[in-house]
Amino acid sequence: MVKDQEFLKSKASYCLDLAKEMGATDASVTVGHSVSETVNFRNKSLEASDRSDGLALSIETYLGKRRSSISSSNLLDENIKTLIEKCFETTKITPEDEFNSLPDKNLLAKQISNLNLYDETRFENDKKIKYLKDLEESASTDNQIINTESSFTENKSNFILANSDGFCDGYKTSSFAASCVTVAKDENSMERDYEFSSKRHLSDIKQAIDLGNKAAKQTIRKLSPKKIGSQKISIIFDKRISKGMLSAFASAISASAIARGTSFLKDKIDQQVFANSINVIDKPDIIKGMGSQNFDSEGVNSNTLQLIENGILKNYLVDTYNGKKLNLKSNGRSGGTTNLYFEKGNISYKDLIKKNSRSLYITETIGHGSNLVTGDYSVGATGFLVEDGEFKYPVNEITIAGNFKDMFKNIILANDLEFEYSVNSPTMMIEGMTVAGK
Amino acid sequence: MSNFFNKSDLTRQDADKIVSETLNNCDDGELYLEESKSESILLDDNKIKSSNYSSDLGFGFRAISNDVVAYSYSNEISKDSLKNSSENLKSTLKSIKGTYNHEIPKSNKKFYKDINPIEQKTLDSKLEVLNKVNDFLRKKDGSVKQVTASFAGEQKSIEIIRSGGEALTDVRPLIRFNVSVMLEKNGRKETGVYGIGGRQSYDDYLKNDNWKNVCEEAFRIASVNLESKPAPAGEMKVVLGPGWPAILIHEAIGHGLEGDFNRKKTSAFHDLMGEKVASEGVTIVDDGTIDNRRGSLTIDDEGTPTERTVLIENGILKNFMQDRHNARLMNTRSTGSGRRENYRHVVLPRMRNTMMLSGNQTQDEMIKSVDKGIFAVSFGGGQVDITSGKFVFNCTEAYEINNGKIGFPIKGATLIGDGPSILKEVSMVGNDMMLDPGIGTCGKAGQGVPVGVAQPSILIDKMTVGGTKL
């Protein structure tokens, strides 16, 4: 079982006391414990089981404006003592940095609301096996499916964050995740696709049969792909890709990228960066939300932030250190966004895909082709050619390219937003991007 | 060398007993003990931004019967904890019986020294180098707007205990030094990144003020990119420079030749053994035995000594890379390619230093032969879809080629190709094979491991360049 609050608190206060004793002017510590069990299936039989049980400790010590940190998985008191000594020795010779400090006391979270992030249900391995059997049965009904791999992971975690200003809090979270990868083959090609479901509560996980069916269906439709010619074409991003666009945006507005001057969105506050119709929100207090939190990784209270309002950039994601550099208060985003989403658009999915007589529907991208300094974007892609709202044939071995600055201003969103993950987007269309193919 | 048995109530005898008793009726498996110490020191934005030290200790216990793998790890090395893991493994494998294979090859060769690079250079002198880097670059040119420099060092000690009490050990040092610089000129910003590293001490890489060369190279790449124009879009000829661009080989061919994907028949290469998969003159090896290289290992994470495995010989597919588990199921032997990120992860067949060997043409000949194409010198990173065989990588320094001459630098573009057919498009192999500078990390199934690559210049007759210019 996952360690309780009392155990973690006692370790945390042991660390803080020791750091103070050695002469640290400030200190902060995070202690966490996480237990996971995974069962893997392949072609309808058990392939692997995996149990992990891990403690983790990280400590920052301050001497005035000097700071350094250590982390360890070994929580024996003797080891902790050696590490804190080492940490504090390092702190002494690390140069001062005027922006180093614990978060402002008055920004720290005062009360913890119950966001229902923990489900204590135990889903025994035998039950995981039953779930995966059903899943793979449903994924294998078509004889073009030649391989199925699936897994079910159950995780329970607990943590305490404490600092020498008296903050000391934490809470348990749980997650359950099922995934299925299928491979299909025909005389021309072999293709892979997947489907997964990840939730805080067991009862919210998708039905095994639905997950298997969907993975298989998504794989089979990719068989016998064609390569298309290089051209300008309107591109429709499936939800699982459009949410990646939001993640790139979030990285570009982190206070760290802004303070370092390495973001194409630097100095763009109160300016138009998206199309007029676009609103982007980061909401930390969604009940059972995959990205929900009561406070950020420094203990700072996090409230809902409107990042983009009618296309205009309203906020960066600010932590204490970079906030001080930029003369901004932390908005509780040390560690990044929480539950990030585009507000839904006005057009239905159906109308979006037939908006142009010809468009390319992208279901997967590969490569690390986002340059957040320049905004240049170029990735490998797989998808479907769509004509008059109908999927004509699968397409692969192409790339799509553009620049985020132009792409963001040309986004059209469908009205099919759902809250499945910690980052969520409706289906998205961007006109005027370049496809490179034959 | 770490002594894993003076830290708690667990003695070596206890461990041997629990391991043997657990694995008695299994086909394979082992107890893997690991202690790692690592540091990272980062200078950014004119300041020492962070200095972190980390120590990690734990075990991973694995039991395999038939094709089922049971795994359990903990970072508490104690009798209770090991017994719990043992129970967990037994409950997964309760209905499957196997016969333990005690055989494991032996070798006395070592490919790096038992050192702890963190302790071999004082923190003060590391800070001094980072500050010198910052001053050097900022003084060098007014266009320098941001400098990031970092040290990362690690010492990992492992011990593998097999059923019957056989124990195998290794101590692995690893360092990396990295510089990133951002330039701004006429409203344009571009970044250049360069790094060096391997399994020696920091000073082996930094002697003779070598940090200056790293700075110059990062600066040069950023300067080239400040002048870059939009990249072309479409199929064309591509000349790859020597060294690091071999991540093309890693992505296009390497992953598809890992044993697990071929046993499961999910790799585009699974039915091509013995067949021609590359042009004549193309030979590719995966070598874990080059002294002090980032991808080298004395023994792999199952205890098998590493080797130089020929994957493709003169165009013909010869071998897959194997760990013990996949080798047993495919009736072959391990190639010493069983690796894991750390004790939290199961072993998978992975690459070490993947290299295309030299041919006899020159880079000049290649460029002269191209009417319209690109010359790619450096890459950011790549990715592959094993099943469809499609792979990409991102150029960080590339030029247009027009009528046999190198032209303007082009903006970062993704190149995409088809793994099983790309090597058949190789029409010239250079005589200038070069190893990469020691910076690669390969990701697979959520696990990152250090790897190396090498290749000579090559000419590829047809690849799709993902630019914006039609």
Q: Say whether B92 sits in a helix, a strand or coil.
A: helix
Q: Say what the pLDDT of residue B1 is.
A: 66
Q: Say what the pLDDT of residue B50 is.
A: 86
CA distances A125 to A36, A83, B64, B69, Å, are 11, 37, 18, 14
Residues 6+ apart with CB under 8 A from A242: A342, A425, A426, A427, A428
**CATH number of the CATH domain containing A133:** 3.30.2290.10
Residue of A nearest to B261 (CA): A147
**Distance between CA atoms of residues B344 and A13, nearest Å:** 27
Q: Are residues A334 and A398 in the same domain?
A: yes
The DSSP 8-state label assigned to residue B165 in this structure reads S
Least confident of A110-114, A267-271, A332-336, A379-383: A110-114
A260 close to B45: Cβ distance less than 8 angstroms: yes
Domain termination site, one of A220, A252, A282: A220
Q: How far is B39 from chain A (nearest CA, A)?
A: 9
Q: Are residues A79 and A138 in the same domain?
A: yes
- When CB atoms are compared, the residue of A87, A183, A371 closest to B53 is A87
Q: Say whether A116 sits in a helix, a strand or coil.
A: coil
Q: Say what the pLDDT of residue B8 is.
A: 80
Domain termination site, one of A164, A188, A220: A220
Q: Are strands A428-436 and B28-44 parallel, antiparallel or unpaired?
A: unpaired
A1 shares contact with chain B (CB less than 8 Å): no
Mean pLDDT of all residues in A366-380: 93
**Distance between CA atoms of residues B465 and B237, nearest Å:** 9
Place of tokens 């001490």: B201
Length of chain A, please? 438
- CATH placement of domain B123-160+167-226: 3.30.2290.10
- In DSSP notation, B385-414 reads -TTT-EEEEEEEEEEEEETTEEEEEE---E
Q: Are residues A353 and A276 in the same domain?
A: yes
Q: Are residues A191 and A264 in the same domain?
A: no
Interface of B with A in 283-322 (CB under 8 A): none
CA distances B260 to B300, B326, B334, Å, are 16, 6, 12
- Inter-chain contact A190–B75, Cβ cutoff 8 Å? no
Q: Are residues A204 and A327 in the same domain?
A: no
Neighbours of A206 (CB within 10 A): 17
The DSSP 8-state label assigned to residue A295 in this structure reads B
Q: Is the pLDDT of residue B63 over 90?
A: yes
Q: Are residues A419 and A389 in the same domain?
A: yes
> What are A361's two structure tokens?
């529907």
Q: Say what the pLDDT of residue B7 is.
A: 75
Q: What is the ipTM of this complex?
A: 0.86
A73 close to B58: Cβ distance less than 8 angstroms: yes
Q: Is the pLDDT of residue B70 over 80?
A: yes
Q: What are the tens digits of pLDDT across the range B268-300?
A: 999 999 999 999 999 999 999 999 999 999 999
Q: How far is A369 from chain B (nearest CA, A)?
A: 6
Residues 6+ apart with CB under 8 A from B175: B117, B151, B152, B153, B154, B197, B198, B199, B200, B201, B202, B205
Burial zone of B116 (CB within 10 Å; 0-12 exposed, 13-18 middle, 19+ buried): middle
Q: Say what the pLDDT of residue B274 is.
A: 97
Place of tokens 């696709």: A193
Q: Which residues of B touch A32 (CB under 8 A)?
A: none
B209 close to B250: Cβ distance less than 8 angstroms: no
Q: Is the pLDDT of residue B412 over 90?
A: no
Q: Are residues A40 and A133 in the same domain?
A: yes
Q: Say whether A291 sits in a helix, a strand or coil.
A: coil
Q: Which of B207, B188, B202, B245 is nearest to B411 (CA)?
A: B188
- When CB atoms are compared, the residue of A52, A364, A368 closest to B73 is A52
Domain termination site, one of A189, A220, A251: A220
Q: Which of B107, B411, B380, B55 is nearest to B233 (CA)?
A: B411
Q: Are residues A54 and A170 in the same domain?
A: yes
> What are A356's two structure tokens?
């142009």
Q: Say what the pLDDT of residue A372 is.
A: 94
Q: What are the tens digits of pLDDT across the range B80-136?
A: 999 999 999 998 898 888 999 999 999 999 999 999 999 999 999 999 999 999 999
The DSSP 8-state label assigned to residue B335 in this structure reads -
**Boundaries of domain holding A124:** 5-220
Provide the b/e sequence for B180-214 (b: ≥16 CB within 10 Å): bbbbbeeeebbbbbbbbbbbbbbeebbeeeebeeb
Sign of CA dihedral B463, B468, B469, B470: positive
Question: Whole-prediction pTM value?
Answer: 0.91
Q: What are the tens digits of pLDDT across the range A82-129?
A: 999 989 988 998 889 999 999 999 999 998 899 999 999 999 999 999
- When CB atoms are compared, the residue of A97, A147, A400 closest to B264 is A147
The DSSP 8-state label assigned to residue A203 in this structure reads G
State the Cα angle at A414 between A413 and A420, rounded to 5°.
Answer: 95
Phi/psi of residue B359, each to 5°?
A: -110, -145
A406 shares contact with chain B (CB less than 8 Å): no
Q: Are residues A128 and A207 in the same domain?
A: yes
**Distance between CA atoms of residues A296 and A300, nearest Å:** 5
Domain boundaries, chain B: 123-160+167-226, 233-466
Q: Are residues A174 and A277 in the same domain?
A: no
Q: How many domains does chain A have?
A: 2
Mean pLDDT of all residues in B420-426: 92
A437 shares contact with chain B (CB less than 8 Å): yes
- When CB atoms are compared, the residue of A71, A93, A125 closest to B123 is A93
Q: Are residues A186 and A258 in the same domain?
A: no
Q: What are the tens digits of pLDDT across the range A175-189?
A: 999 999 999 999 999
Q: Are residues A273 and A412 in the same domain?
A: yes
> What are A11's two structure tokens?
């370790």
